[in-house]
Amino acid sequence: MDTAELIWHNGEFVPWEDAKVHVLSHALHYGTGVFEGVRCYETERGPAIFRHADHLDRLAKSAELYYLGLPYSPEQIGEATRELIRRNGLGSCYIRPLAFRGYGSLGLYATDAPVDVIVAAFPWGAYLGEEGQKHGIRAKVSSWRRISPAGLIPHAKASGQYLNSILAKTESTNAGYEEAILLDERGFVCEGSGENIFLVRDGQIVTPPHVAAILDGINRKSVIQIARDLGYTVVERDVARAELYLAEEIFLTGTAAELVPVREIDDHPIGEPGEITRHVQAKFVDALYGRAEEYLEWLDFVKVPAGADEPSKVSS
């Protein structure tokens, strides 16, 4: 992976190679961590973090859902992140905040083990490839079902839950596809291994509802808003597997992936990215890079404009 100079670790900026944990850290054994994937984009006014407050809010909610008491407020983690990007001298980058049960005790009720927090920021290119963003990817419905709300919390972004995504992604990659699409236990479409999914049917945009067994993606919400603002009808409803094959267009959204068209699924051709996908994708990319005036409020600028007040310092 591409690295950077510093990582924020429990309130300190430490050299990348020194950001280490003990091998008996709780999260290493049980997956007791919650995290975010956030992206920062180089805009005309300098680096800006896309929907930063929403990501920090989801991090706090994921922590709450798994009884992890965060030792830092979302505001403190947010300011640490902006300072990290400044100190690392980064422009466009991927940001990975993680809160996890650290070293102190093992066993399943380990409230003695502290909650450690890190934020890393480093360069990370197109998750499903630049070619995929332009011409679409090939996807396969996974034989693994998406984690059920009966046993875990699909709405939380928790480390251990990603074993489910990893099984699906491994299966689809080994079979020669670029992404896996997971169904829920009823057989309805949920999402990709690390992205939400949208279909175009009869000119309408359709996506599984936020109460489905999906991660309620921040880019999902952004794309729904952008599509509606562009005049499209967006319907949140259950999506049957067969609709994947009958769709006029399909695309995926996520922080790492951004907006990626799907050109083939289970060997059924969907075709080159369609008109609606292209239209929404272009506006979405403009929003990410601060080129869409109407969505500027989604951006958290890292650097203070010259002449403005200094931002408050990290208080930890």
Report the nearest approach of ligand PPE to the CB of residue 308 (Å): 29
SS3 168: helix
Tokens 């902006």 locate to 82
Count helices and strands (H / E) in the chain. 8, 17
- Regarding 215 and contact with ligand PPE (CB under 6 A), the answer is yes
Stretch that binds ligand PPE, among 11-19, 63-71, 190-198, 259-267 (CB under 6 A): 190-198
Map residues 24-43 to x or -, x wherever contact with ligand PPE holds by CB under 6 A: -------------x------
Candidate list 140, 157, 169, 283, residue with the active-site label: 157
Nearest CB to ligand PPE, comparing residues 217 and 274: 217
Name which position in 56, 180, 213, 218 contacts ligand PPE (CB under 6 A): 218
Q: Applying CB under 6 A, does 81 fall inside the site for ligand PPE?
A: no
Active site residue 134: no
C-beta of 114 vs 192, nearer to ligand PPE: 192
Distance from the first to the final alpha carbon of the chain: 29
- Give, in degrees to the nearest 5, the angle at Cα 208 between 207 and 210: 115
Between 224 and 265, whose beta carbon lies closer to ligand PPE? 224
Instruction: Kindly state whether residue 119 participates in binding ligand PPE, applying the rule CB under 6 A.
Output: no
Q: Of residues 194, 208, 261, 274, which one binds ligand PPE by CB under 6 A?
A: 194
Nearest residue to 194 (alpha-carbon basis) of 131, 247, 124: 124
Q: With binding defined as CB under 6 A, does residue 118 bind ligand PPE?
A: no
191 binds ligand PPE (CB under 6 A): yes
Q: Find the part of the chain contacting ligand PPE (CB under 6 A) among 71-79, 83-91, 216-224, 231-239.
A: 216-224
Give yes or no for residue 277 binding ligand PPE (CB under 6 A). no
Long-range contacts of residues 212-215, Cβ cutoff 8 Å, at least 24 apart: 212/154, 212/184, 212/188, 212/238, 213/146, 213/147, 213/148, 213/149, 213/154, 213/184, 213/185, 214/146, 214/154, 214/155, 214/190, 215/154, 215/155, 215/157, 215/191
208 interacts with ligand PPE by CB under 6 A: no
Cα separation of 4 and 314, whole Å? 20
Restricting to residues 221-260, name those near ligand PPE by CB under 6 A: 253-257
When asked if residue 196 is in the footprint of ligand PPE (CB under 6 A), the reply is yes
Q: Pattern 141-180, binding to ligand PPE, x per CB under 6 A?
A: ------------------------x---------------
Exposed/middle/buried for 30, CB within 10 Å: 0-12, 13-18, 19+? Answer: middle
Q: Which residues contact 236 (CB under 8 A, 6 or more apart)?
A: 206, 207, 208, 209, 210, 224
Instruction: Give the C-alpha distances (Å, rounded to integers) separating 118 from 76, 80, 193, 212.
Output: 12, 10, 24, 30
Q: Does 116 contact ligand PPE by CB under 6 A?
A: no
Give the torsion sign (CA, 164, 169, 175, 181).
Answer: positive
Kindly list the catalytic residues.
Answer: 157
Applying CB under 6 A, the residues found at the interface with ligand PPE are 37, 165, 191, 194-196, 215, 217-220, 253-257
